[in-house]
Structure 1
């Protein structure tokens, strides 16, 4: 199996996605979506941004590497009565099943950044976007002090080194890399803008339970705990993550969690 597919089919990311719904809707509300738009949501998961896009009247295709998330997205769309929102399995590095210049808007929020071969990802996103259309990405920022970069940093300390040739997905959070990658796909620098934005994880349960959710359902964290268990370090990993989540929680209610996370918001004009 494709290693990237195996990672995201591990566990059940829909459980984490539940904590991202409100911010997903808020993000989509700022995209200027109209009813006549045709949107590709790439690395869509179960529809955190695709479902809100469709609710604004756009025709939306969600594409994700993980079969379980595609199935979950189609269930959500059906339950919402969104006949113009569908999900299918696909690889962001090779969207051969999609025609050139097909979409008015391509959106990828913490999705395509995790695919290998980032230059291929950039080229495919550009290829399927119509002239005058837009690509909007949300990418986690390497070394950022907020939650996600720190989860991945802590997890990496407990796992074996990545294979030779591995390109960190976090490099999508560096503006110069974004410009270089889209430049190789034919996009001039002046058509690319990058700004720091925030995304908030919200739950009706405390940080300790959110740590358990990541431990149980989030592929990278699951791998870290499996490796730490073999070394007798699972408790240390858990304590490190718990301290991180509690430190970053801004909710005034001890029974709830609200953690804002920085990300790089990328807008590309085709």
Structure 2
């Protein structure tokens, strides 16, 4: 079982924090959206970035740009296309595809590429291929933007809950962002893909997972999406322990840090 299995639960479980970081990108770090743009929403999921682009265009009363969504998960593209129909994304189209092989995209096709919380999920062996493909399909003068976790409560919660129920060490380690929480990792990966070092910029985005009361926070992370993600490899005997172990992790985080941290790096790379 993979994240793709819970694709239709993903958007509403994550859009609050994703929205804030994407708005930071669109408002402060990339050229202003205009109707003549072509935009790639890479690792698009169910279309959170596309949704925000369309909302901004509606608020400005301008025609939305052409948007291409690509994700490796077929269920995510199914959800993307359902959103396209329901929300009337008439200039958008979704494709199932691997970020390391964007064969459905032409050289120099996009003015803007946004890859939200996904670069760190790419296997090390192909990370440079992903950024090379991004470089290839980006227009000269175009900008690619990425969000990568810097200090992430979710990773700690998934590790702590898995450890508490006795999951294997290698399973627990896969939730650890490790080197991807370091600025230099993404910077080197972008340069390895072809971007010039002086054209890669880094920004800090500080955030939290909401100022909710204890009960609301526990309910949020006991929701179907997070429960399924956290327990996908657990035994049937272990799964009922999710809420109690998530609560312990939440209370520990609040005591030690004062809030559930959701801080990220924003990287922009101009071709």
Corresponding position of 1:7: 2
Residues 1:190 and 2:198 are matched in the alignment: yes
Residues 1:240 and 2:235 are matched in the alignment: no
Corresponding position of 1:78: 85
SS at match of 2:232: helix
Corresponding position of 2:144: 135
Question: What displacement does 1:231 show?
Answer: 9.9
Residues 1:223 and 2:229 are matched in the alignment: no
Higher share of residues assigned helix: 2
Cα distance in structure 2, aligned partners of 1:236 and 1:209: 11
- Mark the CA change 1:234 to 1:25 in structure 2 (over 3 Å): closer, same or farther: closer
Q: Which of 220, 229, 237 is residue 210 of structure 1 equivalent to?
A: 220
Q: Which of 13, 18, 38 is residue 16 of structure 1 equivalent to?
A: 13
SS at match of 2:206: strand
Residues 1:154 and 2:160 are matched in the alignment: yes
Residues 1:96 and 2:103 are matched in the alignment: yes
Cα distance in structure 2, aligned partners of 1:221 and 1:167: 10
Give every structure 1 segment of 4 or more consecutive aligned residues whose post-TM-superposition deviation is greater than 4 Å.
Answer: 166-170, 199-205, 227-236, 244-250
Cα distance in structure 2, aligned partners of 1:101 and 1:120: 16
Corresponding position of 1:114: 121
Q: Which of 160, 169, 177 is residue 185 of structure 2 equivalent to?
A: 177
Q: Compute the TM-score of the two structures, normalised by the length of structure 2.
A: 0.77
Cα distance in structure 2, aligned partners of 1:24 and 1:195: 11
Question: What displacement does 1:170 show?
Answer: 5.2
Q: Is the 8 A contact 1:147 1:244 kept in 2?
A: no
How many residues align? The count is: 249
Cα distance in structure 1, aligned partners of 2:139 and 2:45: 24
Q: Is the 8 A contact 1:207 1:249 kept in 2?
A: no
SS at match of 1:14: helix
Single out whichever of 88-97 and 111-120 deviates more from structure 2: 111-120
Unpaired runs of at least 5, structure 1: 1-5, 251-258
- Per-residue deviation, residues 34-92 of structure 1 (Å, max 9, x unmatched): 22111101111111111222342221111112222212222222222220122221111
- Mark the CA change 1:236 to 1:208 in structure 2 (over 3 Å): closer, same or farther: closer
Question: What displacement does 1:206 show?
Answer: 0.7
Corresponding position of 2:46: 46
Q: Is the 8 A contact 1:61 1:86 kept in 2?
A: yes
- Mark the CA change 1:82 to 1:230 in structure 2 (over 3 Å): closer, same or farther: closer
Question: What displacement does 1:137 show?
Answer: 0.2
The CA RMSD measured in Å over matched residues stands at 3.2
Q: Which of 71, 79, 82 is residue 64 of structure 1 equivalent to?
A: 71
SS at match of 2:85: helix
Q: Compute the TM-score of the two structures, normalised by the length of structure 1.
A: 0.77
Q: Is the 8 A contact 1:138 1:266 kept in 2?
A: yes
